[in-house]
Chains A and B, each alone.
Chain A
Amino acid sequence: MTTTGTFTVKRGLADMLRGGVVMDVVNAEQAKIAEDAGAVSVMALERVPADIRRDGGVARMSDPVLIEGIIEAVTIPVMAKARIGHFAEAQVLQSLGVDFIDESEVLTPADEAYHIDKWPFAVPFVCGATNLGEALRRLSEGAAMIRSKGEAGTGNIVEAVRHLRSITGSIRAITQADPAELYGWAKELGAPIGLVQELHSTGQLPVPLFCAGGIATPADAALVMQLGAEAVFVGSGIFKSSDPKRMASAIVEATAHYQDPQHVAKVSRGLGEAMRGLEASQYGEHLADRGW
């Protein structure tokens, strides 16, 4: 007797991706480059976040043709993005055979109040969070992986650092809290008491915590890994750099050897230009504010 789509199976894939780099790609050729460079997974989308940010308009799920082309091109898991709350897009992505769905603030939200109920799906979901409350709400909806949001498409690591520090700092505080105080934490975080109590006893989220939004260099990856991320998503940072192949493998190396500064130095040499990036005052809309 075999059972598919269990939470153990969904969370299991997230576990397998730990210590790796998930790379945004917009076509099969980029997907091959990412796989060759050692990506653990690719995120199939029509435009990288930097271009979505520049172009404006409504950003939606990608064309199935594009996603299928990328699934065909590589042997590693393929992720794709659905709009926040757009469960019909998620149903389509699951039917295409994607391995992970990112319910993502990078796309234009479809629902102003609710995220997708992720429990009925066989495919696992990753959701973004800027703080622990958001992370626990996404877990209560069935997410199998949490990624700190950062600010996609900016190449600026400052937001990712803030969000990671916020999440890990709250986890540390809850671990030290008196059991009676956990009810206050649940209220303050807007999160289920059961998950808060579980955090209190285990000291860690029940699913892997990855980092996204603003990673543009190998040292950025080493930074967030040391701050408690278990793997990284790199969106615009690779294919908006001057030498994507080398940048991609350098970030893979730096993520695997994040505790070894000499190794990070070695792979950082002569990479050409990282993506140009945006300073905080130039962002325009903060995509991280999307999600509830």
Chain B
Amino acid sequence: MTGAGPSGPVIGILDLQGDVREHLAALRDIGCSDVRLVKRPADLVGLDGLILPGGESTTLSMLLESTGLFEAIAERVPPGSGSSPDAGALPALPVLGTCAGLVLVAREVQDGRPDQRTFGALDAVVRRNGYGRQVQSFEADVVLSAGAGTALPTVFIRAPMVLSVGPEVEVLAEHEGVPVLVRQGLILACAFHPELTPDRRVHRMFVDMCGTNRRVLPEPTPGVAADLLGASEAL
């Protein structure tokens, strides 16, 4: 299943700061017709997936708090895989975190600000700016461990480095022995910026995750309670 067509999943992009426009262009490239910009908690309603873009994670954290989006997203992105929410809880929301977005979903952040909060949904320890300052920022081709295919062109910009991952985390790509693209349940995260290169495989993978998840767990809006019950039985 792909994200193409009007019946594809509804993807939100956190639009507080960062390279929102590039993610928007990437989603359009692969035929996502319903993309929404998320600036406040109400914008999360009806989403099948959320992208946390690149930007400055300290700035994003502050703006997430002041808008109330931090709590609203945290409710939908529980620690661990997020694939088995409690009964009665809102269905978990698939998240793609790129660069700063990886920092925001990680369980533990080193060299961040002491008051920096994260969603902690991804069982990983990351170090902010782990690859160094801007003059050390780089481009590289990385090999995807699953599904093979050609190497993925990537751009790392003052990127966070994944220092360790928990047993539930799947490493989808490494660069020089360090995980750079990881997945745990509904969380997909990368240290690089798939939105800055023309290769759309990471966005496609995410949109597929969102589409699959939506079929399993539809949004429980009041009007579609019956559908939700039907879906639960299907589980």
Residue of B nearest to A249 (CB): B62
Q: Specify which of A3, A38, A41 is in contact with B62 (CB 8 Å cutoff).
A: A38
Q: Output the least CB separation between A187 and chain B (Å).
A: 31
Does the CB pair A16–B157 fall under 8 Å?
Answer: yes
Give a binary string over B28-57; 1 marks a CB under 8 Å from any A CB, 0 the rest: 000000000001000000000000001110
Binding stretch for chain A, among B11-19, B166-174, B207-215, B217-225: B11-19
Does the CB pair B17–A18 fall under 8 Å?
Answer: yes
Does the CB pair B56–A76 fall under 8 Å?
Answer: yes
Q: Specify which of B19, B54, B113, B196 is in contact with A35 (CB 8 Å cutoff).
A: B113
A104 and B15 CA atoms in complex are apart in Å by 30
Q: Output the least CB separation between A15 and chain B (Å).
A: 4
Does the CB pair A6–B139 fall under 8 Å?
Answer: yes
In A227-265, the 8 Å CB interface with B consists of 249, 252-253, 256-257, 260
**Is there a chain A Cβ closer than 8 Å to B184's Cβ?**
no
Does the CB pair B18–A1 fall under 8 Å?
Answer: no
Does the CB pair B62–A16 fall under 8 Å?
Answer: no
Interface size on A, residues (CB 8 A): 38
A2 and B135 CA atoms in complex are apart in Å by 13
Q: Specify which of A6, A18, A37 is in contact with B18 (CB 8 Å cutoff).
A: A18
Does the CB pair B17–A9 fall under 8 Å?
Answer: no
> Which residues of the other chain, A, contact B76 by a CB distance below 8 angstroms?
none
> Which residues of the other chain, A, contact B233 by a CB distance below 8 angstroms?
none
Assuming the contacts A8-B155, A75-B128, A77-B158, asked whether A13 and B56 have C-beta atoms less than 8 A apart, the reply is: no
**Is there a chain A Cβ closer than 8 Å to B137's Cβ?**
yes
**Is there a chain A Cβ closer than 8 Å to B145's Cβ?**
no
Q: Output the least CB separation between B84 and chain A (Å).
A: 34
In B99-123, the 8 Å CB interface with A consists of 99-100, 111-113
Residue of A nearest to B141 (CB): A1
> Which residues of the other chain, A, contact B54 by a CB distance below 8 angstroms?
15-16
In B146-176, the 8 Å CB interface with A consists of 155-158, 175
Chain A, interface SS category? loop
A2 and B156 CA atoms in complex are apart in Å by 10
Assuming the contacts A13-B157, A252-B62, asked whether A18 and B21 have C-beta atoms less than 8 A apart, the reply is: yes
Does the CB pair B137–A13 fall under 8 Å?
Answer: yes
Does the CB pair A16–B135 fall under 8 Å?
Answer: no
Q: Output the least CB separation between B213 and chain A (Å).
A: 28
**Is there a chain B Cβ closer than 8 Å to A4's Cβ?**
yes
Q: Output the least CB separation between A119 and chain B (Å).
A: 15
In B57-104, the 8 Å CB interface with A consists of 58-59, 62-63, 66, 99-100
A249 and B62 CA atoms in complex are apart in Å by 9
B contact residues vs A (CB 8 Å cutoff) = 15-22, 39, 54-56, 58-59, 62-63, 66, 99-100, 111-113, 128-129, 133-141, 155-158, 175, 193, 196-197
A contact residues vs B (CB 8 Å cutoff) = 1-6, 8-9, 12-13, 15-20, 35, 37-41, 75-77, 94, 97, 99-100, 122-124, 249, 252-253, 256-257, 260
- The contact sample of 6 A-B pairs, CB cut-off 8 A, is A12-B155, A15-B196, A38-B58, A75-B112, A252-B62, A253-B63
